Structure 1
Amino acid sequence: MFKRILVILLIGFLAWAYQATQPPPPKICGSPGGPPITAPRIKLRDGRHLAYMEHGVPKENAKYKIILVHGFGSSRHEGSIATAKIVEELGAYFVSFDKPGYGESDPDPKRTAKSIALDIEELADQLGLGSKFYVLGYSMGGQAVWGCPKYIPHRLAGLMLIAPVVNYWWPSFPANLSKEAYYQQFPQDQWALRVAHYTPWLTYWWNTQKLFPASSVIAGKPKFCQQDWEIISKFAGRKSNKAYVTQQGEFESIHRDMMIGFGSSEFDPMDIKNPFPDNEASVHLWQGDEDGLVPVTLQRYIAGRLPWIHYHELPGAGHLFPHADGMSEVILKAFLVGEKQEF
């Protein structure tokens, strides 16, 4: 009798544990009970929808057509990185989009670096941006756009990565270098990244359970430097867009970002060939040397392995440096017209 009770309890515990690790189904925009559709969207090759937002000058008059890829826990609404004055001066058109599962873009349970690159290409084609276009990615969006020179190099007019997140498990990193950088992160983030890498099926549970501290970024308490906090103070009182970002569910948005960003990569960025061998365009990578989220040592290593990258390292800058006064103008002018400025 006692053994039978133990078996029943064990089965009950395993059933509970399994249930706890399973994320709830996403609330698809436009479905019964789901969030409303308010954004313009395109229908992709597999039937998914991608929500987007246009900024800057009209694309018909634009000299530069740029697709923006947002970072972790963000959306198409954070796509505009420059003042209206500099946008007009450069003649730049921007289009930002909600990554799959974010905002009003349908989730993509099969999301990969390649699928994001193809989404970008299809967005450009459906919006009529021409045979070549620029791509700019920030933070986790920067990591995502490594797929562009890998899978769609023939479509690029230029590529910019701003503080792109690195995967500590990329094969080309020397073990001692990646290990040292990894242990510079908060202990709770080390665990969150371990889970995303080694047991991705536990990512939802780990970041929603209350027994241990989960990701500091998800908790809104990341490892920011002094410059980051100064920048944040300037935005105090601004209305938060957090509810929109994860309105279809945290799993298919921020948790899947973690699983892809720190999982087993389908390719090593350091093996990518120069997409512009004749110098017909350029790739730029910007990094702050006090970035607490993306270790500068690993970024330096990537830039050293890929000498065709124009690497810009900013002393005293953290992860939010693109939002510092005048910085977006410096970045865009260097990227689009090759103008060098002091910073």
Structure 2
Amino acid sequence: MYLPLQNETIVLADGRILGFAQSGDPEGRAVFHFHGLHSSRLEAVVVHEIVKEAGIRFIGIDRPGIGLSSFQPGRTILDFPSDVEALADALGIEEFSLTAVSAGSPYLFACLHKLPRRVSSCAIIAGVPPVLELGVDKMPKESRIFISIAQKFPWLIHPLFWFHYGRLSRHDSDAERFLDHIIRTLERVDHLLLENRDTREVLLQTFRESYRQGSRGVACDGIAVFAKPWGFSLEEIDFRPVRLWHGGKDNGVPVQLAESVAERLKGAELTIYPDEGHLSIVFHHFQEIIHALQTDDHGFQR
């Protein structure tokens, strides 16, 4: 098997298709990765060289209705661990590590809650908090507006996401506007990343893929993360360590929220990079994050 493989699928027991991408070392220790909002399994391909050098088999999973994965009506965050477990079983993986970026974090927490015996180590990067518990006061204005609409008028999110993002994702001529809509609330350090044409192109491909089926899946993902109870509390998670990595200049998810999450988690270890933003932390520190993941993984052969 040669990696990366960008367009892999399996059929789940209920007939749904689950899409995933693999990068890194095909013989390496398995790490499942959970993408952010407006993103997709292709995040795994972005870090191919880093995970290959580290000897990791890195597997990004599309959530329902996103990328290659079938839509799942009425799904909740706690439904996702069973999809992860089914994929692990299909690939012959007994134990695995987890990484999550931004809005992928509640799905990682859900796996720690429901599959703790199968998880060997984990890392959450620029993670989203349970805003229904912690409040939205520290979130940027645009996020507060979105969360308010998602809570009061969830039926509006689907057409809003289509108007602001989905329709622009379809055509190359609108691609630059699509990317600018997604990153407009982020810090200057994140915008500087996108001055590199290669970085801009790979992120654009990753983000556009999330709208392959339209905006329904992405809208439901955003509602589940930001506007509904997750179905468990952070205090219920009994896993050590839960490594949190966050940028001090993260405008998307301010660092104070990461500190609040760390206070609620029994096994939290929070690392803050004062000068990094919501995206730049991944591009500048992913190698270090992966090294810590391997250090925590007792099954990794050094």
Tell me whether the two structures share a fold, i.e. TM-score over 0.5.
yes
Displacement of 1:208 in angstroms is 4.9
Which residue does the alignment assign to 1:229? 191
3-state SS of paired residue (1:158): strand
CA contact (8 A) 1:55 1:93 kept: yes
Q: Going by fraction, where is helix more abundant, 1 or 2?
A: 2
Which residue does the alignment assign to 2:101? 138
Change in Cα spacing, 1:81 to 1:195, as seen in structure 2 (3 Å) is same
1:68 paired with 2:33, answer yes
Any stretches of 5+ residues in structure 2 without a counterpart? 1-5, 165-177, 298-302
Alpha-carbon distance in structure 1 between the residues aligned to 2:292 and 2:201: 29
Which residue does the alignment assign to 2:58? 94
Displacement of 1:269 in angstroms is 3.6
Alpha-carbon distance in structure 2 between the residues aligned to 1:217 and 1:264: 27
Alpha-carbon distance in structure 2 between the residues aligned to 1:224 and 1:164: 15
Alpha-carbon distance in structure 1 between the residues aligned to 2:245 and 2:236: 18
Which residue does the alignment assign to 1:47? 15
Displacement of 1:243 in angstroms is 4.1
Structure number, greater radius of gyration: 1
Displacement of 1:218 in angstroms is 8.9
Which residue does the alignment assign to 1:181? 138
3-state SS of paired residue (2:290): helix
- State the TM-score, normalizing by the size of structure 1: 0.73
Any stretches of 5+ residues in structure 1 without a counterpart? 1-37, 211-215, 277-281
Change in Cα spacing, 1:219 to 1:198, as seen in structure 2 (3 Å) is same
Identical aligned pairs, as a percentage? 25
Displacement of 1:116 in angstroms is 1.1
- State the TM-score, normalizing by the size of structure 2: 0.83
Q: Could you tell me which amino acid in structure 2 is paired with residue 180 of structure 1?
A: D
Cα deviations by residue, 1:206-244 (Å, 9 ceiling, x for unpaired): 44569xxxxx99933431112111112124662632443
Task: Within 5 Å, give how 1:1-343 maps onto structure 2.
Answer: 39-58=7-26, 61-62=27-28, 64-80=29-45, 82=47, 84=49, 86-130=50-94, 132-170=95-133, 173=134, 178-182=135-139, 185-186=140-141, 188-208=142-162, 219-235=181-197, 238=201, 240-241=204-205, 242-252=207-217, 254-276=218-240, 282-325=241-284, 327-337=285-295
Change in Cα spacing, 1:273 to 1:87, as seen in structure 2 (3 Å) is closer
Q: Aligned residue pairs: how many?
A: 276
CA contact (8 A) 2:106 2:230 kept: no
Q: Could you tell me which amino acid in structure 2 is paired with residue 263 of structure 1?
A: A
CA contact (8 A) 2:40 2:67 kept: yes
